[in-house]
Chains A and B, each alone.
Chain A
Amino acid sequence: MTAPRCPRVFEAEAMRDGRLTGAERAAFERHTTQCADCAHEVGALDELAQRVLEMPDCALDELHVRRERTRVLAAFDESLVLPRQRPGRGWWLAFPGVVAALATALFVYWRARPVSQVERTPNVVVHPESSAAWSKRTEGNREIVTLEQGALWIHVEHAANPRRLIVVLPDGELEDTGTTFTVSVERGHTQRVAVRDGTVVLRIQGQPSVGLGPGETWAPSVTPAAAIPAITSAATEHPSSEPMPTEAPSAVPVRAPAASAPVTAAGASGEFRLAMSAFRAGDNVRAAAAFATFLAKYTSDERAQDAAYLRLIALQRAGHESEMKQAAREYLRLFPAGFRRTEVQRLTVP
């Protein structure tokens, strides 16, 4: 038989939830100094809260946070540039049919599935160099390849692989958003990334993320002061059919060829690519000129705002302060509601 409890025990919870204030609260606090039941109740509620606070957190590494941050910003950015098309009303008419088809397909698959069947292997093909030290594992919806030393040639069949592929490097990571690329590591540092098809995002610790497109190669800069990693068009340096890097990766930044690479400027896309190529290669003067040309010719193009912004960034990096300020004013004139306007306004302040 349990002893009768104090009738004021319920006030412990009321006090915790802020329902007791002022004199009521003070009276109950005095009461708890004399009543064992109420003091025990207050302690039990504190202990319960404490146990929840002490639940272990899943530790997150800096790169993971940066990757997720980039993902959120990119998604928001994309939604600004390309507003999503709302499906028409006709979609709802087809909805029951789609659900029925999916359910049937699931049922057939579930029934036909052999009991011993393991999880379907995603279509990620990795060709390692003979001396490469690497491993591959699956974490949730991610395929994670860890490269410690040597070179890998990686091909991802995205049509068959809904998972994301992350290549973990000693000094960063590489996220595949495309199909075929090579990556090499020497003495704990990423030496070279060459993309043949599709795109990848390279994140090296302490440096901004870099997107590499088809035919582009990344190599580390010599001096840490070089803010822009050396990127060049691999079309001129490495044949696109090259499956693996055969020569020793060079630590020398690859700069000039990209700027002078014979990229054909066919229409707006070609000219924008040309400007981006120069920008990524660090040839800021040429990039600024190319973006200005693009802006003058294709003012109503959806990339015009990007071109205006990248132009002033290129001028800033080139050290052309007065031209940069003029370009900033030009940006604000052309895009008074542009989503970079606050940053740009800040740049115009003397």
Chain B
Amino acid sequence: MNRTPKGQLSKSDVPSATDPEILQRLACGELSALGELYDQYNGIVRRFIARATADAEDVDDLVHLTFLAAAKSAKKYDGRASCRPWLMGIAVQLLRRRRRGLGRFLGLLSALIGSRSGNVDPRAALHARNDVKRALLQLSEPKRVTFLMAELEGLSCDEIAGALGIPIGTVWTRLHAARRELRQLLEGDREP
């Protein structure tokens, strides 16, 4: 049905809530809580996904799925003051799932038509708009998302480790490797 009155209560009626409060209300199925979460984090999640994925067409869908998954998992939220790392972790899981699904499909297609097989998404090059983006897309996905979480989103290594469910040592290793590869790629671009 058409829920026309959605949003009839203006934001001014609603006191600004903390992330744990919003997620608690969301866990109880409160629709307006999802709206608040979306308003607060849509831009951040979108920016992160847009930089982490090669396919601009996927961004809307991945943002959509991230917030839906967050709504469904709100009961499991651990109550930290900021849910940003948690949302990023959900987005990374969805990115990984999307890449695996696409990789399998492309592999199957390549095998069927007898062409050269590979796991590289051919759309990547089409959407690389500048050298930094192009260099980022040449990193493996684990290194790329770890680097973006640290340098773009400003998350601490502890927060990244928690969001991705990996040891902090792995975060440091990925960051080091990502920086080294990026610097090589970008310095290579500068050479005539």
A interface residue numbers (CB < 8 A to B): 13, 17-19, 44-45, 48-49, 51-58, 60, 65, 68-69, 71-77, 79-80, 103, 106-107, 110-111, 140-141, 208-211, 213, 272, 276, 279-280, 303, 306, 309-310, 313, 337, 339-343, 346
Partner of A60, one of B5, B25, B46, B113: B46
B138 within 8 Å of A (CB atoms): no
A/B pair count, beta carbons within 8 Å = 131
Given A48-B182, A72-B67, A210-B4, also A53-B152 (CB < 8 A):
yes
> Could you say which of A17, A306, A310 contacts B172, with CB atoms under 8 Å apart?
A17
B-chain residues with CB within 8 Å of residue A210 when the two chains form the complex: 4
The number of chain B residues touching the other chain, given as a range, is 35 or more
B51 near A337: Cβ-Cβ < 8 Å = no
| Residues of the B chain whose Cβ atoms lie less than 8 Å from the Cβ of A110 | 109, 112-113
Q: A110-B112, A303-B1, A313-B8 are in contact. List 17 more A-B contacts (CB 8 A).
A: A17-B157, A52-B132, A52-B152, A53-B152, A68-B60, A71-B64, A76-B68, A76-B71, A79-B72, A80-B29, A103-B108, A208-B4, A211-B2, A211-B4, A310-B4, A310-B5, A339-B30
Asked if B3 lies at the interface with its beta carbon under 8 angstroms from chain A, I say yes
Q: Tell yes or no: B175 within 8 A of A by CB.
A: yes
Whether B182 and A343, one on each chain, are in contact in the complex, defined by CB atoms closer than 8 angstroms, is no
0/1 string, B148-178, CB within 8 A of A gives 1: 1011100011100000000000011001100
- Residues of B near A76 (CB, < 8 A) are 31, 34, 67-68, 71
Residues of B within 8 A of A55 (CB): 51, 130, 132-133
- The answer to whether B42 touches A69 (Cβ under 8 A) is yes
Chain B 1-36 interface 0/1 with A at a Cβ cutoff of 8 Å (1 = within): 111111111000100000000000100111110110
Contact between B129 and A56 (Cβ–Cβ < 8 Å)? yes
How many angstroms from the CA of A236 to the CA of B51 in the assembled complex? 52
- With contacts A103-B108, A211-B2 known, is A18 near B31, CB below 8 A? no
Q: A48-B183, A141-B57, A208-B7 are in contact. Are A56 and B68 (CB under 8 A)?
A: no
Q: A52-B148, A106-B109 are in contact. Are A68 and B4 (CB under 8 A)?
A: no
- Report if B75 contacts A (CB, 8 A): no
> Does A346 contact B13, Cβ atoms closer than 8 Å?
yes
**Which residues of B in the span 26-62 have a Cβ within 8 Å of any Cβ on A?**
28-32, 34-35, 38-39, 42, 46-47, 50-51, 56-57, 59-60
| Residues in chain A near residue B92, CB distance under 8 A | none
Determine whether B186 belongs to the interface, using a CB cutoff of 8 Å to chain A.
yes
Question: B97 to chain A: closest CB distance in Å?
Answer: 18
Q: How far is the CB of B105 from chain A (nearest CB, A)?
A: 9
Q: Judge whether A276 and B2 touch: CB under 8 Å.
A: yes
CA distance A49 to B16 in the complex (A): 32
Q: A13-B179, A65-B42, A68-B64 are in contact. Are A73 and B6 (CB under 8 A)?
A: yes
- Measured between beta carbons, the chain A residues less than 8 angstroms from B186 are 48, 51
Contacts of A280 in B (CB 8 A): 4
CB-nearest residue of chain B relative to A347? B9
B170 to chain A, nearest CB (A): 12
Q: For the complex, what is the distance from the CA of A249 to the CA of B13, rounded to whole Å? A: 37
Q: Which residue of B lies closest to A313 (CB)?
A: B5
B131 to chain A, nearest CB (A): 9
Contact (Cβ within 8 A) B56 A73: no
Residues of B within 8 A of A342 (CB): 25, 30, 32
- Name the one of B5, B109, B157 contacting A18, with C-beta atoms under 8 angstroms: B157
Q: Which 10 A-B pairs have the closest CB atoms?
A: A211-B2, A339-B29, A140-B57, A49-B151, A313-B5, A107-B112, A72-B67, A51-B132, A76-B71, A52-B151
Give Cα A103 to B6, complex, Å: 43
Instruction: Determine the distance from Cα of A58 to Cα of B58 in the docked complex, in whole angstroms.
Output: 13
* Cross-chain contact B3 with A77 (CB below 8 angstroms): yes
C-alpha gap A210/B56 in the complex (Å): 29
B63 at the interface (CB under 8 A from A): yes
Report the minimum CB–CB distance from B46 to chain A (whole Å). 7
